[in-house]
Amino acid sequence: MSSPPPPSFSSLGCGSVLNEKGEVEMDAIIMDGKSLASGAVSAVKCIANPIKLARLVMEKTEHMLLTDHGANLFAKAMGVPEIPGEKLITERSRERWSKNLEPDSNPQEDPGTVGAVAIDNEGNVACATSTGGLTNKLVGRVGDSACIGSGGYADNHVGAISTTGHGESMMKVVLARLILYHMEQGMSPVEAADTALNYMKTRVGGLGGVIVVSNSGDWAARFSTKQMSWATVKDDQLQYGIYTGEIHTSSVAEALESK
């Protein structure tokens, strides 16, 4: 969520949770609020930064979503390097995967989604979301992150959204677009996000989180889960938090110095 620079999403992380076979399969989406152009990939393997591939789908094809083998063929044609799948697997992911293989485990978690929303100084908005989905998911499972309107949506007329949480629940209520609908009806980003998250919880029992920026630069980071890491930069001021009600503030310069 940034004010001065134009939206730019070159990379949204590396590595992921593992599916039931211990492999990394990732989904990603990117959307330009000016033209409503969007690109997405799903169930891709051996790609370090699937958001880059999603952007190429948006910019270099007439399509909006490529999946699995076709997405990897497109990546090869575009010169996107493949890397060995094991290089995307951390020891923590391997431990979580092994633990979730145990009887009576409950692997319904989504700890690896990374999202971004932005507005530039001309009022153009954009969103991007990238994830490995649910730990120990079925091979080939695709969640909300590759689905326009669920994992993200951007429209200069209203604003931009990126979502995280239980993908199947978000797809049922089309969460990102639902939030923008409430904003179209006059709600603030905070009100719209809370209303949509509450509806998802009561209607289908789903939990999640969202980051929102309006076309006027107002923003919100809201969640119904126990926690969600978030940060925003506006006019050289950094704000961030993890738990409900937690907001820390510093200058961007201070944050860079501490790093």
CB 259 within 8 A of CB 41: no
Between strands 65-67 and 38-44, the pairing is parallel
Q: How far apart are CA 166 and CA 201, in angstroms?
A: 11
Length, in residues, of the chain: 259
Residue type at 31 in one-letter notation:
M
In the annotated binding site for substrate, the residues are 141-144, 164-167
Q: How far apart are CA 218 and CA 129, in angstroms?
A: 20
Q: Which two tokens stand for residue 162?
A: 């990126």
Given 67, 90, 113, 244, which residue is catalytic? 113
Per the annotation, the verdict on 225 as an active-site residue is: no
Q: Kindly state the greatest CA–CA separation across the chain.
A: 54
For residue 147, the cross-strand partners are none
H-assigned helices in 34-67:
50-60
**How many Cβ atoms sit within 10 Å of the Cβ of residue 8?**
12
Q: Taking the chain, what is the end-to-end CA distance rounded to the nearest angstrom?
A: 20
Range 173-199 burial, b when 16+ CB lie within 10 A, else e: bbbbbbbbbbbeeebebebbbbbbbee
Residue type at 223 in one-letter notation:
F
In the annotated binding site, the residues are 141-144, 164-167
Residue type at 172 in one-letter notation:
K
Between strands 208-214 and 219-223, the pairing is antiparallel
Active site residues: 113
